């Protein structure tokens, strides 16, 4: 049972602002790095193609620690955990700006990731417990506005800072925002607690080892000629997944119950999310990298090229309900995945002598259809879950999403490295390596759409509006 806390009207006004600040900081941070990697790589004496660890380490840390956020908030209180998360995120940002090599940057990103994995879920939990249902949607809509603004500002702000200041400022910008959120949280964040429920620590550790092993093996695949350790780590990852299956089948309260996967829409949604994001997730990184490396343009220019993707995503969010109501989930997801795959392939059309502004209409359409895709995949995943499975199911969707982003970034860079290493195939022109990568990633995205054939025509009808 939750502890009862009387909250003032002032707290109700400030709490959505606190959550909005945290979401803005996290969304800005997750997109600002894409345009800055070549500059960071140069300063740290690394190849831009070897910088994926700076992204994957953060995303993987989010995926690993998100399932713990609710338990920690219940045990220690939403206020304490939220403040700790803000401090960790801000300290991690400071460490990132001070990094002298890639190893230090990865460590700092992990600290950031631990803070980020607790910050948004715990902030949302406080919001849910503060507002009655009739007021919750309005408060939540206000709080998630930064989730739409952050991706627009991230690439452009990152480009400005790299070109006119230095890459260190893309991390330092988080600190004043974090301090503001911290001051507001100390005064206005309510400290909700619950009677402690069992936490599946063993299951969490098993699942964490499996996730880390599979991610590490994928990352090593592109960086080593010796495949033996890669295969061994892959096998360890699959063994730990099997071990988790055996554990969850016996445990009374596993972190992710196995009967979640008996729900067909959840199963298809999770698999489709993983397969589709494997292609989609690398594009926001590969395109700015190509603009800077192949075309020799500035970080700011690459930021402006990518920014329309986030702007059109807002229009996609407003259109998705109409599309789903008209076509249904099965038809929407199958056709939409095909369109996204074709658009990714279209990124391979402009040659090295073409204007880079040809990419703007392609990336704009991609942002629109990506937005429809993500909303549809996430909502079909939880459409048929029982009430008592909503929390664990929603948590697994979030974890799966973060892992898929990490896998997608690693996969895209592995393909790019393979093409870049074959000088005869690319005719000694690095731009061709990017073009071939877009074709491979796009084709695989098209194939991933067949996952959604397993949906029935009426699946998701209970989610439709009106």
Q: For residues 463 and 453, which has the higher predicted lDDT (pLDDT)?
A: 453
Q: Which helix (H) or strand (E) holds 243?
A: helix 227-250
**Lowest-confidence pick of 139-153, 159-173, 447-461:** 139-153
Task: Tokens for 116, please give them.
Answer: 């980020």
Which of 165, 191, 217 is the last residue before a domain boundary? 191
Tell me how far apart the alpha carbons of residues 208 and 438 are, in angstroms, rounded to a whole number: 31
In a domain, 273, yes or no: yes
Are residues 76 and 135 both part of a single domain? Answer: yes
Higher pLDDT: 198 or 163? It is 163
- Calculate helix-pair angle for 359-382, 264-280, nearest 10 degrees: 160
b/e for 348-371, b at 16 or more Cβ within 10 A?
A: bebeeeeebeebbebbbbbbbbbb
2 falls within a domain = no
**CB contact at 8 A, 282 and 412:** yes
Mapped to the 3 state alphabet, what secondary structure does 199-238 carry?
Answer: CCHHHHHHHHHHHHHHHHHHHHHCCCCCHHHHHHHHHHHH
Q: Provide, rounded to the nearest whole percent, the portion of the chain with pLDDT above 90.
A: 15
* Averaged pLDDT for residues 369-394: 77
Does the pLDDT at position 27 exceed 90?
A: no
Is 90 a domain residue?
A: yes
Q: Within this chain, do residues 240 and 298 fall inside the same structural domain, yes or no?
A: no
Question: pTM value?
Answer: 0.80
pLDDT of residue 191: 84
- Residue-averaged pLDDT of the chain: 82
Please check whether residue 4 lies inside any domain of the structure.
no
**Alpha-carbon distance 65 to 392, whole Å?**
14
Structure confidence at residue 457 (pLDDT): 75
Q: How many CB atoms lie within 10 A of CB 139?
A: 19
Sign of CA dihedral 44, 46, 51, 54: negative
Q: Of 220, 235, 254, which residue constitutes the final position of a domain?
A: 254
| Residue 249 sits in the same domain as residue 124 | no
* CA distances, 27 to each of 33, 59, 81, 318, 401 (Å): 11, 12, 20, 20, 15
Instruction: Flag whether 279 is in a domain.
Output: yes
Residue 25 sits in the same domain as residue 136: yes
Judgement on whether residues 250 and 261 belong to the same structural domain of the protein: no
On the 0-12 / 13-18 / 19+ scale of CB atoms within 10 A, 197 is exposed
Query: 1 in a domain, yes or no?
Result: no
pLDDT tens, residue by residue, 54-63: 888 888 888 8
Residue 30: CB atoms within 10 A of its CB come to 19
**Are 127 and 216 in the same domain?**
no
Strand, coil or helix: 410: helix
Helix (H, G, I), strand (E, B) or coil at 377: helix
Count: domains in the chain: 3
Judged against a pLDDT cut of 70, whether residue 428 lies above it is answered with no
Alpha-carbon distance values, 195 to 68, 76, 376 (Å): 16, 10, 35
In a domain, 196, yes or no: no
Q: Are residues 250 and 339 in the same domain?
A: no
Residues 367 and 273 placed together within one structural domain of the fold: yes
**One domain for residues 273 and 370:** yes
The span from the CA of 259 to the CA of 252, in Å, is 12
Percent of the chain topping pLDDT 70? 89
Same domain flag for 362 and 273 = yes
On whether both 399 and 328 belong to a single domain, the answer is yes
- Domain housing 328: 256-466
Q: Is 3 within a domain? A: no
Same-domain check for residues 42 and 63: yes
State which of 191, 211, 238 marks the end of a domain: 191
The domain that contains 67 carries what CATH number? 1.20.1250.20
């Amino acid at each position: 049972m939750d502890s009862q806390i009387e909250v003032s009207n002032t707290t109700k006004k400030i709490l959505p602002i606190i959550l909005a600040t945290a979401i803005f900081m996290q969304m800005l941070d997750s997109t600002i790095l894409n345009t800055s990697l070549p500059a960071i790589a140069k300063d740290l004496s690394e190849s831009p193609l070897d910088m994926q660890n700076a992204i994957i380490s953060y995303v993987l840390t989010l995926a690993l620690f998100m399932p713990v956020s609710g338990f920690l908030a219940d045990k220690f209180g939403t206020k304490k955990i939220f403040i700790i998360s803000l401090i960790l995120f801000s300290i991690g940002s400071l460490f990132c700006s001070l990094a002298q090599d890639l190893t230090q940057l990865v460590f700092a990103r992990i600290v950031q990731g631990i803070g980020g994995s607790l910050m948004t879920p715990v902030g949302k939990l406080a919001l849910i417990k503060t507002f009655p249902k009739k007021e919750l949607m309005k408060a939540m809509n206000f709080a998630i506005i930064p989730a739409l603004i952050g991706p627009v500002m991230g690439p452009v702000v990152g480009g400005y800072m790299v070109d006119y200041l230095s890459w260190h400022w893309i991390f330092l910008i988080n600190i004043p925002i974090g301090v503001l959120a911290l001051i507001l949280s100390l005064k206005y964040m309510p400290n909700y607690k619950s009677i402690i429920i069992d936490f599946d620590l063993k299951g969490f550790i098993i699942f964490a080892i499996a996730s880390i092993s599979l991610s590490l093996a994928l990352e090593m695949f592109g960086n080593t000629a010796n495949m033996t350790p890669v295969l061994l780590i892959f096998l360890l990852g699959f063994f730990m997944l099997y071990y988790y299956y055996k554990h969850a089948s016996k445990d009374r309260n596993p972190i992710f119950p196995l009967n979640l996967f008996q729900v067909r829409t959840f199963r298809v949604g999770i698999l489709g999310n993983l397969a589709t994001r494997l292609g989609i997730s690398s594009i926001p990184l590969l395109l700015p990298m190509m603009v800077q490396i192949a075309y020799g343009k500035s970080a700011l220019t690459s930021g402006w090229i990518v920014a329309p993707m986030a702007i059109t995503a807002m229009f996609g969010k407003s259109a998705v309900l109409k599309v789903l109501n008209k076509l249904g989930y099965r038809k929407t997801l199958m056709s939409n995945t095909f369109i996204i795959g074709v658009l990714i392939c279209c990124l391979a059309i402009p040659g090295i002598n073409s204007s880079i502004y040809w990419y703007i209409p392609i990336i704009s359409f991609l942002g629109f259809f990506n937005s429809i895709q993500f909303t549809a995949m996430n909502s079909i995943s939880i459409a048929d879950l029982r009430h008592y499975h909503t929390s664990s199911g929603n948590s697994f969707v979030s974890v799966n999403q973060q892992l898929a982003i990490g896998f997608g970034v690693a996969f895209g860079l592995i393909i790019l490295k393979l093409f870049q290493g074959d000088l005869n195939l690319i005719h000694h022109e690095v731009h061709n390596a990017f073009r071939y990568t877009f074709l491979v990633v796009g084709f695989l995205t098209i194939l991933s759409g067949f996952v959604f054939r397993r949906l029935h025509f009426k699946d998701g009808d209970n989610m439709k509006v009106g």
